Chains A and B, each alone.
Chain A
Amino acid sequence: MTDTTTISPAATERGPVPLPLSLARLLVVVGAVGTIASAFLSWTWTSDFPGDLTVYGYPAGLQILALVGGVLTLLFGLTLWDVKWLRWLNPADATSPVFLTALSAFAVCWFTGIAIAVDLGGLVNLDPGAYVAMAASALPVAGALALPHPAPGTGIRGYLTKPQLPAPTKVSALTERVIITVGVALALLAFTYGIGIDNDASETFIGYLLLLVFAAWGLMHTGLVDRFATTAAHHKGFASALAFVAAVVFPFTQNDDHNANVGVNILIFATVALGLNIVVGLTGLLDLGYVAFLGVGAYAAALVSGSEYSRFSGVHFPFWAAALTGMAASLVFGVLIGAPTLRLRGDYLAIVTLGFGEIFRITVNNLDGTSGPNITRGPNGITQIPDLNIFGFNLGDSHDVLGHSLGRFANYLFLMLIVTAIVVLVFTRAADSRIGRSWIAIREDETAATAMGINGFRVKLIAFALGASLAGLAGTVMAHVNYSVNPQPYQFAGAAPPNSAFLLAAVVLGGMGTVSGPLLGASVLYLVPEKLQFLQNYELFAFGVALILLMRFRPEGIIANRRRQLEFHETGQLDVPAQETLSDDAAVTKAGA
């Protein structure tokens, strides 16, 4: 997948579809146009199928996705003709982006056709539009398979080979900013569309995921994604400010406070994942009970919230004090768990944190007045947590801003955004400092790190406690968002986030040691169970399969840390242990040269 080979048209192999080149190119474009056109036809006769695909002249649901896939295919198809103003789209003049975008449209159209037939019981339910879509979307795939690809002798796999990319042309700083803005806007658009898909329309969401995966894969092969990443890294401040603005804009794009609720929950989940990333991604400590720190923060905030069900119902802290209380409580637990275990190596910590996570849940369940003192009201939890009131601004009320009514969850979304921004700042600043380097050093080689004068125990404890208190901070907001706290969500593994396994998965899936990785991983892991309700019983299974596939094909996570990408891919083999490359003959000869 990542082998890079120079593209030289003369030496390239032709594809399995025997068509002359010019015809193949034509086929791609014609098919793409056909796909676009089909989106404006009716695909089925009844609106029983999610998304209402019955209307002529007005694409909806999966048709919009097919339309997007068609447009992308068209754009990349046109790059085959040396259209001047499209050159930047495909600077390597490669076949694989064409093939992959063609696949994205093909996958959406065929999935829809099959889903209609299965859901409604038979092919009779397909309108001509659906046949047009399926036929038209197949043409670009066939066309692309007739084009040459850069890795001769690899058969069809050659079409998934990432081409060698030419060095990017220099552009002005202003253009770079424009690129970032466009990228962020597109991301916001894609995210808003995904979150806006009706919870009952799992078909649409699957189509959305298909389109997203293939289109993103295709874009990666054009080098545009790398380009965007380096550009954004160049203008770090600008890019993060813009991402923040995009998140602020998000509630204004929603008419329904429910989506803002989803947004808050994603942010909470993502923030906690980012905190865990300090522990797992930077310091290399495996924490299997991290969600308990979120719970400690949430319970601490609930107890001082002034709720009449709180043990200390008379106590009503202002938010800043409650947040500090939550952080402090988590910090104390973090130190209590960390101090005895962090002196030991490796796996002990995993077991102890796993145990702590379960003990927390069980204890909270039992502090109900019957099995133990009444502090947490056991399984009933602490309910009726009042809304936060910050500077006289009640977060429970709707507010009209710029003519747009922002509901309760939108208010909390803004609060949570500030919390997330703080955590991002803490993460990036800590990572890029003396202490952050010592965390990474410990992850890389603890013995060498201590021999360099790093007090391993102390530094690991700082990471552990910092991670815990950040989770506690997120917990304080969560208690208020959900009106109540109860022991149920704070488990090791469950069908819905947050739980320790999902948090860990968000970090690994997103990309360890990065900021955007856990944020993205958390969004995916939150949205997929939310939108694919039918998976409920198979969720953990599907989740496991997804993780295995990811670890096989992209072990560094969706967003690759520069280090990890080099670590996993530079040899072209994933299973060569580092030690062997060192004592390898080749390495010695190289050293001798």
Chain B
Amino acid sequence: MTTPVLEARDVTMRFGGLTAVRSVDFTVNSGEIVGLIGPNGAGKTTFFNCLTGLYVPTEGTVSYQGKVLPPKPHMVTQAGIARTFQNIRLFANMTVLENVLVGRHTRTKEGLWSALLRGPGFRKAEKESEAKAMELLEFIGLAAKRDHLARNLPYGEQRKLEIARALASEPGLLLLDEPTAGMNPQETRATEELVFAIRDKGIAVLVIEHDMRFIFNLCDRVAVLVQGEKLVEGTSDVVQADDRVVAAYLGEPFEGAPGTAEAAEVEAAEAAADAESADAESAADTGSTEADSTTKGEAQ
């Protein structure tokens, strides 16, 4: 049961002078739920982007089921890795059902000609896609809202819909970037169940989260990323017991901290980015809710 699904070798991502991810080796095995944690700005999302081809890593390779992935998002999805986004990126003005149908893009083939000619093959494929999409909507519990616009869904349901859309591509590995951000405890519990159910479908899951209780309940293995470097990796107990992890989260200096020299630099870059873009602003917004849940998690 331990064939590796995803193998990242020596992945480094630099933005100009800033090294957001530094020589990270990482493996996800089939049937595993793996957590990726780390303080804000540690490079978790950047690492996800490297895995899914949204960023071309400066160094290193990512392979899926033994094959090296080209750094093109659509090819990565085609290969079998699906993801969700930290700031929900649904197709806001498409219906719930259409969102999931778009997720099926890589598993269907009908091109322009078959759409124009509408032969029996086209109809059959559309029917099948719709049936599969509805199945997924049943699975996450949004079937009743199939014709609602995605933008009109409450926050928690939007996150669920993003998961359904990702699942529609029939992935072997699902990457979740903070799936419970902004959720209340009940919704978080429900998401936990959902992730287990996804694993039971035979899909490996890699999840970024700031809610520690969520992570430690869920994950077979947890990796901690601090300032772009993998600090610790192991079972929940190992990670929870590690002093360096607590120190990294609370910001205490400790012996042999990786990248201390760059801390100031990172902060400066972040400040600049914050000041510049409205995107950064909304990210900061989410940041504050994350901070809350972090404290909660820590209290456990």
Q: Is the CB of A590 within 8 A of B155?
A: yes
Q: Which residues of B contact A587 (CB under 8 A)?
A: 154-155
Q: Which residue of B lies closest to A561 (CB)?
A: B93
- Return chain A residues, CB-CB under 8 Å to B102: 437-438, 441, 449, 452, 454
Question: CA separation between A447 and B98, bound complex, in Å?
Answer: 17
Residue of A nearest to B116 (CB): A429
Within 8 Å by CB of A451, from B52, B116, B152, B154, lies B52
Query: How near does chain A come to B53, taking the closest CB pair, in angstroms?
Result: 8
Please count the residue pairs between chain A and chain B whose beta carbons lie under 8 angstroms apart in the complex: 142
**B152 / chain A contacts, CB cutoff of 8 Å:** 566, 570
| Interface flag for A434 (CB, 8 Å) | yes
Which residues 128-163 in B have Cβ within 8 Å of A in the complex?
Answer: 129, 149, 151-152, 154-158
Query: Does B127 make an interface contact (CB < 8 A)?
Result: no
Q: A430's contact among B77, B85, B112, by CB below 8 Å, is which?
A: B112
CB-nearest residue of chain A relative to B103? A452
In angstroms, Cα B106 to Cα A454, docked, is 7
User: Interface readout for A467-505 with B: 1 if CB under 8 Å, 0 if not?
Assistant: 000000000000000000000000000000000000000
Alpha-carbon separation in the docked complex, A440 to B98 (Å):
10
Within 8 Å by CB of A454, from B74, B87, B116, lies B74
| B-side contacts of A582, CB under 8 Å | 87-88, 155, 158, 282
Chain A interface residue number, banded? 35 or more
B33-41, B180-188, B217-225, B260-268 - interface stretch: B180-188
Q: Which residues of A contact B282 (CB under 8 A)?
A: 579-580, 582-583
Q: Once the chains bind, are B98 and A456 in contact (CB under 8 Å)? A: no
A445 interface contact, C-beta 8 A: yes
B201 CB–A CB distance under 8 Å: no
Q: B22 near A: Cβ within 8 Å?
A: no
Query: Is there a chain B Cβ closer than 8 Å to A563's Cβ?
Result: yes
Measured CB to CB, the nearest residue on chain B to A432 is B115
Tell whether A448 is near chain B: CB-to-CB under 8 Å: yes
Measured CB to CB, the nearest residue on chain A to B109 is A434
Give Cα A432–Cα B112 distance, bound, in whole angstroms: 11
Known: A437-B94, A587-B154. A592 touches B169 (CB 8 A): no
A449 to B165, CA, bound (A): 11
Contact A453-B91, Cβ < 8 Å, known A433-B110, A466-B112, A566-B149: no
Q: Please tell me if A462 contacts chain B, counting CB pairs below 8 Å.
A: yes
A536, CB-defined interface residue at 8 Å? no
- Asked if A451 contacts B54 (CB within 8 A), the reply is yes
Most buried by A among B110, B125, B156, B158: B156
Best-buried of A451, A454, A590, A591 by chain B (most CB within 10 Å): A451
Bound together, the chains give a CA A578 to CA B282 distance in angstroms of 11
Q: Are B89 and A448 in contact (CB under 8 A)?
A: yes
Closest CB of chain B to A65's CB: distance in Å? 39
Q: Is the CB of B73 within 8 A of A583?
A: no
Residue numbers in A under 8 Å from B165 (CB-CB): 452
In the complex, whether B243 has a CB less than 8 A from a CB of chain A is: no
Flag if B108 contacts A434 (CB, 8 Å).
yes
Chain A residues, CB < 8 A from B23: none
Mask: chain A, 570-593; 1 = CB below 8 Å from B; 0 = not: 100000001111110001101111
Q: A453-B78, A590-B154 are in contact. Are A435 and B187 (CB under 8 A)?
A: no
With A and B bound together, what is the CA distance between A564 and B182 in angstroms? Answer: 27
Q: Is A363 an interface residue (CB 8 A)?
A: no
**Residue A567 at the B interface, CB < 8 A?**
yes
Answer whether residue B230 sits at the interface, using C-beta atoms and an 8 A cutoff: no
Residue contact A591 to B94, C-beta cutoff 8 Å: no
Enumerate chain B residues within 8 angstroms of A426, measured Cβ to Cβ. 116
Residues of B within 8 A of A436 (CB): 115
Is residue B122 contacting chain A, with contact meaning CB distance below 8 A?
yes
B233 on the A face (CB < 8 A): no
Residues of B within 8 A of A564 (CB): 93
B3 close to chain A: CB less than 8 A? no
> When A434-B108, A452-B77 are in contact, do A440 and B94 touch as well, CB less than 8 Å?
yes
B68 touches A (CB below 8 Å): no
Closest Cβ of chain A to B64, distance in Å, is 14
Residues of B with C-beta under 8 A to A567: 92-93, 151
CA of A430 to CA of B114 in the docked complex: distance in angstroms?
9
* A398 at interface by CB-CB < 8 Å: no
Q: Do residues A450 and B112 form an inter-chain contact, with CB atoms below 8 A?
A: no
> Which of A448, A455, A591 is close to B90, meaning CB atoms less than 8 Å apart?
A448
Q: Is the CB of A452 within 8 A of B155?
A: no
CB-based contact A456/B74 at 8 Å: yes
Indicate whether A444 reaches chain B with its CB closer than 8 angstroms.
yes
Question: Which residues on the B side are within 8 Å of A447 (C-beta)?
Answer: 54, 73, 89
Check if B83 is an interface residue, CB within 8 A of chain A.
yes
Find B115's partner among A435, A448, A453, A563 (CB 8 Å cutoff). Answer: A435
Residue from B93, B114, B129, B169 in contact with A452 in the complex, judged by beta carbons closer than 8 Å: B169
Judge whether B118 is part of the interface by a CB distance below 8 angstroms: yes
Interface residues, chain A, CB within 8 Å of chain B? Answer: 425-426, 429-430, 432-438, 440-441, 444-445, 447-456, 462, 466, 563-564, 566-567, 570, 578-583, 587-588, 590-593
11 A-B pairs in the complex with CB atoms less than 8 angstroms apart: A429-B118, A430-B116, A437-B94, A441-B94, A444-B92, A450-B54, A451-B74, A452-B169, A566-B151, A570-B152, A582-B282
Q: Which residues in B have some Cβ–Cβ distance to A below 8 Å?
A: 52, 54, 73-74, 77-78, 82-83, 85, 87-94, 98, 101-103, 105-106, 108, 110-112, 114-116, 118, 122, 125-126, 129, 149, 151-152, 154-158, 165-166, 169, 182-184, 187, 278, 282, 285-286, 289
